[in-house]
A and B are shown apart, each in its own frame.
Chain A
Amino acid sequence: MSNYYVRRTLRVFATIFAVATLTFGLIRLLPGGPFTQLRAQLLRQGVPASEVDARIANLQNINPNAPLWQQYLDYMGAVARGNFGESISLGEPVARIIAEAVPWTVFVVLVSTILMFAVGIFLGSLQAYWEGSRFDKAFSGLSIALMSVPFYVVAVISLYVFSYQWGWLPTAGTVGASVEKELSIPFLLSALEHSILPIFSYTLGGIGGQALAMRGNSIQVLGNDYVRVARLRGLADRRIATRYVARNAILPMYTGFLLLLGFRLSGTVILEQIFSYTGLGYYMFAALKANDYPLMMATFLVITVALIVGVYIADLTYSKIDPRISAGGSDEAY
C-alpha cells in the first residue's frame, strides 16, 4: 500500500523531469531555434557582436556554443533551481513575471471552477429529483445549449455588452490603473471588478456539462436499493438527499474537478487574451508572439506542473474518499 504512494510520488517527479526535457526539445523545434531570433534582436539593439553570446548565455542560462548535452544539463540545472532566465521581450527575470502572474490565474480558474461545480451540482440534483418534469426538460435543454457555447464566445459577447456598450465593467487588466498594488479595500474591490467578466465567461459554459453529469449520477444513485431501504426506514428526505444521494453522486465528479482545474489552466491562454488579464496564459501567448522563449517555456512548465499535481492529488485522495476503491490494485499480465 505505502509502496504505491512512494511509486506514485516518484512518478510525479519523473513526469515533471520529462516535461522539462520536452520543453528543452520544443525550444529547439521552433523556427529559427532559440538563438537566431535573439541574436538578431541583440545586434539590432547595438550590442557588439563579441558580447552577444555572453548576453544570450546570461538571458537563457545556456551557452549557445556548448554541445547539446551541456546545454541540456545547464538548462535542467537552472530549472531545478527555479531559475528560468530573463524574459527577452520584457527584460525582467522570468521567475518574477510568473510570480506576479500566477495568483491572478489561480484566482480566476479556482473561483470559476468551484462556481461551475457548485451551480452544476445544484441544478443537476434538482433535475434528478424532478426527473421528467418540465423543469428537468427545460434545464436539460439549457445545459446542452450552454455546453455548445465556447467560453470565448461568452467572453466576447459579455465584453461587448457589459463593457463596451453599457460600460458597467472594465474592459481590460487585473486592477484599475490608479489603484496601488497593496492589500487594501480599494485594491480588492478593483480586482474583483476586473475579474467578474473573466470568471463569469469561464463559468457559464461549464455549468451545462456538470449539471448533466450530476443529473445522470443522481438518477443512477436514486435507483439503488439502499436509497429505497433508507426511504422505507422512514429517514427524513433531507437526510436521504444529502447523506445518501448527493454524496454518492458527487463522488465520481471529484477527480473530474481536480483534473478540470489543471485543464482549465491551459484554457486561460485564450481567456486572458480576450480580457487582457495579465495572468499565466496572457504571458504565455505574449511570449509566443514575441519569440520570448525563456518566458514561454517557463509558463508552459508552470501550467504543466499544476496539471501533474492535480492528477496526483486526485489519484492519492480518491481511494481515501471512496473506500470501495483500493489504491494501486493488482495487475496480472496476460
Chain B
Amino acid sequence: MKRTEGDESSTLATDGAGVDWRGSASSSVTVTREERLREFYEENVLKPMIVAWSDSRTRLGLLIIGFYLLLSLVAILGLWREPSTSQAPRYLMLFENMKYPLGTTASGTDLAALIIHSTPDILLMVTSGGLWATGIAVLVGTVAGYKGGSVGRVLMSISDFVMAIPGLPLVMILAITFNPKNPILLGIIINVNYWAGLGRSIHSQVLTIRENNYVEASRTMGVSTPRIILKDVIPNIMPYVTVNFVFAARYVVFASIGLFFLGVLPYSDQNWGVTLNFAYNGGALFSWSAAHWLIVPMAAIIGLSIGLILLGQGMDRVFNPRVRTRLTGESESTASTDEKDTGMTEVL
C-alpha cells in the first residue's frame, strides 16, 4: 500500500490512545508510580471496558469468547466425559438423548465430548497464531517505518517477499515437513507469513507517525531508537494492532480447521476439523440422519469466529475515534485517507 506522507490530518496521533499516552507522560515527573499505574489502568483498561461493554455487539462477543473459555475449562478439569468410540448408541440425533445432547457419530462417539475436549488446543493455537502474527508485524512495521532508509527498504523487501508466498500452500508444505502436533507451534506455522501484510500497513502508518513533533523532539533529545519506538510510536498503532490480532486469530481458526478438514495437518485427537472430515468422508453428506455430525463442528467454528469478529468490531469502536465521535453525534470530519481495512491481510 502507498504511503500517505505529509497528510497531517490523517495521522493517528490525534487518536485516543495517543492523547492518553501524552497525558500520562507529561505528568510523570510529579506523580508516584502507584498513581501512574492507576491512571494507566483507568485510561487503558477501565474506560475501554466501559465503552466495550456499553456496545451490545462487543458484549455479545465477550460472552461468546467467555463461553469457549468455559468449555476449555470444563475439558481441562475433566467435567465432561472423554470421547471414545462405542460409548453411546450410534447416530443419535441432536437432543434425542439428553445424556448426549449433541448426538453421536457413526462410531458411537459423543459429539459434545469431541467438541469440548478439542477446545483448549484450538484456543491455544488461535492465541499463539495471533500473537505471532501481530508481534512480528509490529516489530517489522515499526522498525522499518521509523528507521526508514536502507533498513526500512530491506525489511519491506523481506515482507514483500514473504507476502508473495501463497499462505495455504506454504502452510501445507510446512505442515507435512515439520509434522507439528503442538498447538502452539501449529498456530505459528499457520500464520507463518500472515505478519507480512499487516507489517506493511503498520509501516505506512508509522511513516506518518514519525513526522510528529513529539517524535522529532525525542529524537533531538537523543532518546534511543528502541525507546522512541516503544514510547512514541507503538501507543499510536496499538488500537490497530489489537483489532488485527482478532482478525489474525480468526484466520487461524479458518485455516487450521480447513486444513484439518482436508486431512493435511497432523492430529492426535479428533478436533473440530477432523470431526468435520470424518463426517464428510463418513457419508454424512448422503443422509439427513447424520446431518448433525456435520452441523455440530460447523457450529463450533462459526460460533468462535462470530465471537472473535464481534470483539474485533467492538475494539474498532472502542479505539476508533472516527466511529466514536460519530456515535456521540459530533460532526467533526476527519479527512483521513488511511487505508486501514483494505484487505491487506489474508481473508478466507
Instruction: From the candidates B259, B310, B337, name the one contacting A144 in the complex (CB within 8 A).
Output: B310
> Which chain B residues lie closer than 8 Å to A69 at the CB level?
none
Contact between chains at B167 and A273 (CB < 8 Å) = no
| Any B CB within 8 A of the CB of A311 | yes
Instruction: From the candidates B172, B291, B298, name the one contacting A269 in the complex (CB within 8 A).
Output: B172
> Which chain A residues lie closer than 8 Å to B348 at the CB level?
150-151, 205, 267
CB 8 Å contact bits of A297-325 with B (1 = contact, 0 = none): 00110011001100100010011001011
- Chain A interface residue count, CB cutoff 8 Å, equals 75
> Which chain A residues lie closer than 8 Å to B280 at the CB level?
156
> Which chain A residues lie closer than 8 Å to B254 at the CB level?
150
Instruction: From the candidates B5, B170, B347, name the one contacting A206 in the complex (CB within 8 A).
Output: B347
Stretch at the interface among B71-79, B93-101, B148-156: B148-156
Q: What's the nearest-Cβ distance from chain B to residue A291, in Å?
A: 9
| Any A CB within 8 A of the CB of B163 | yes
CB 8 Å contact bits of B282-312 with A (1 = contact, 0 = none): 0001101001001000100110011011100
> Which chain B residues lie closer than 8 Å to A68 at the CB level?
none
Contact between chains at B342 and A219 (CB < 8 Å) = no
> Which chain B residues lie closer than 8 Å to A299 at the CB level?
169
Contact between chains at A334 and B337 (CB < 8 Å) = no
Contact between chains at B147 and A333 (CB < 8 Å) = yes
Q: What's the nearest-Cβ distance from chain A to residue B193, in Å?
A: 11
Contact between chains at A18 and B343 (CB < 8 Å) = no
Closest to B305 in A: A148
Closest to B333 in A: A223
| Any B CB within 8 A of the CB of A31 | yes
Contact between chains at A256 and B342 (CB < 8 Å) = yes
Determine the distance from Cα of A237 to Cα of B298 in the docked complex, in whole angstroms. Answer: 44
Among A149, A253, A269, A333, residue most surrounded by chain B Cβ atoms (within 10 Å): A269
Within 8 A of B (CB), among A198-253: 205-206, 209, 212-213, 216, 219-220, 223-225, 252-253
Q: What's the nearest-Cβ distance from chain A to residue B301, in Å?
A: 7
> Which chain A residues lie closer than 8 Å to B160 at the CB level?
11, 15, 311
Among B3, B146, B169, residue most surrounded by chain A Cβ atoms (within 10 Å): B169
Instruction: From the candidates B166, B210, B261, B306, name the one contacting A148 in the complex (CB within 8 A).
Output: B306
CB 8 Å contact bits of B218-251 with A (1 = contact, 0 = none): 0100000100000000000000000000000010
Contact between chains at B302 and A148 (CB < 8 Å) = yes
A164-B285 contact in complex given A266-B166, A267-B348, A303-B166, C-beta closer than 8 Å:
yes
Q: What's the nearest-Cβ distance from chain B to residue A163, in Å?
A: 9
Within 8 A of A (CB), among B98-115: none
Q: What's the nearest-Cβ distance from chain A to residue B116, in Å?
A: 20
Among B152, B225, B347, residue most surrounded by chain A Cβ atoms (within 10 Å): B347
- Chain B interface residue count, CB cutoff 8 Å, equals 75
| Any A CB within 8 A of the CB of B82 | no
Contact between chains at B164 and A334 (CB < 8 Å) = no
Determine the distance from Cα of A265 to Cα of B207 in the docked complex, in whole angstroms. Answer: 31
* Cross-chain pair count, CB within 8 angstroms: 189
> Which chain B residues lie closer than 8 Å to A145 at the CB level?
306
Instruction: From the candidates A253, A270, A331, name the one contacting B168 in the complex (CB within 8 A).
Output: A270
Contact between chains at A149 and B343 (CB < 8 Å) = no
| Any A CB within 8 A of the CB of B322 | yes
| Any A CB within 8 A of the CB of B328 | no
A152-B258 contact in complex given A213-B343, A324-B337, A333-B147, C-beta closer than 8 Å:
yes
| Any A CB within 8 A of the CB of B344 | yes
Stretch at the interface among A22-30, A56-64, A91-99: A22-30
Within 8 A of B (CB), among A130-157: 144-145, 147-153, 156-157
Q: What's the nearest-Cβ distance from chain B to residue A262, in Å?
A: 8
Q: What's the nearest-Cβ distance from chain A to residue B224, in Å?
A: 12
| Any B CB within 8 A of the CB of A260 | yes
> Which chain B residues lie closer than 8 Å to A285 at the CB level?
172, 262, 264
A147-B176 contact in complex given A260-B343, A267-B168, C-beta closer than 8 Å:
no
Contact between chains at B1 and A255 (CB < 8 Å) = yes
Determine the distance from Cα of A213 to Cα of B258 in the docked complex, in whole angstroms. Answer: 25
A153-B301 contact in complex given A144-B310, A263-B347, A319-B2, C-beta closer than 8 Å:
yes
> Which chain A residues lie closer than 8 Å to B152 at the CB level?
331, 333
Determine the distance from Cα of A151 to Cα of B302 in the docked complex, in whole angstroms. Answer: 11
Q: What's the nearest-Cβ distance from chain A to residue B218, in Å?
A: 11
Determine the distance from Cα of A85 to Cα of B298 in the docked complex, in whole angstroms. Answer: 40
Q: What's the nearest-Cβ distance from chain A to residue B309, in Å?
A: 5
| Any B CB within 8 A of the CB of A288 | yes
| Any B CB within 8 A of the CB of A108 | no
| Any A CB within 8 A of the CB of B217 | no
Contact between chains at A223 and B331 (CB < 8 Å) = yes
Query: Taking beta carbons and an 8 Å cutoff, which residues of A are in contact with B?
Result: 11, 15, 18-19, 22, 26, 29-31, 144-145, 147-153, 156-157, 159-160, 164-165, 205-206, 209, 212-213, 216, 219-220, 223-225, 252-253, 255-257, 259-260, 262-267, 269-270, 273, 284-285, 288, 296, 299-300, 303-304, 307-308, 311, 315, 318-319, 322, 324-325, 327, 329-334
Query: Taking beta carbons and an 8 Å cutoff, which residues of B are in contact with A?
Result: 1-5, 57, 146-153, 157, 160-161, 163-170, 172-173, 176-177, 197, 207, 210, 219, 225, 250, 253-254, 257-259, 261-262, 264, 276, 280, 285-286, 288, 291, 294, 298, 301-302, 305-306, 308-310, 313, 322, 326, 331, 333-337, 339, 341-344, 346-348
- The 8 sampled A-B contact pairs (Cβ below 8 Å) are A148-B302, A156-B294, A260-B347, A285-B262, A288-B176, A300-B169, A325-B337, A331-B152
Q: Which 8 A-B pairs have the closest CB atoms?
A: A333-B149, A256-B343, A266-B166, A148-B305, A256-B342, A148-B306, A252-B339, A325-B2
